[in-house]
Amino acid sequence: MPSTAVLIDGAFFLARFRKVYTDRDANDPRVVAKTAFTMAIEHIRALDRPKDALFRIFFYDCEPLDKVFQRPVSGNEIDFGDSGMAHFRWDLHDNLRRQRKMALRLGRLSDRGGEWQLKRAALQSLREGALSWDDLRDDHYELDMRQTQVDVKIGIDIASMAYKRQVDQIVLVAGDADFIPAAKLARREGIDFILDPMWQGIAAELNEHVDGLQSVCPRPY
Residue 177 pLDDT > 90, yes or no?
no
Q: What is the pLDDT of residues 116-152, one digit of tens each?
A: 899 999 999 999 999 999 999 999 998 888 888 899 9
- Assess whether pLDDT exceeds 80 at residue 111: no
Distant-in-sequence, close-in-space partners of 90: CB < 8 Å, separation ≥ 6: 64
Going by pLDDT thresholds of 50, 70 and 90, the confidence category of residue 66 is: confident
Q: Can you tell me the mean pLDDT for 154-160?
A: 96
- List the domains of the chain with CATH numbers: 4-67+96-109+147-213 (3.40.50.1010)
What is the crossing angle of helices 84-97 and 29-46, to 10°?
50
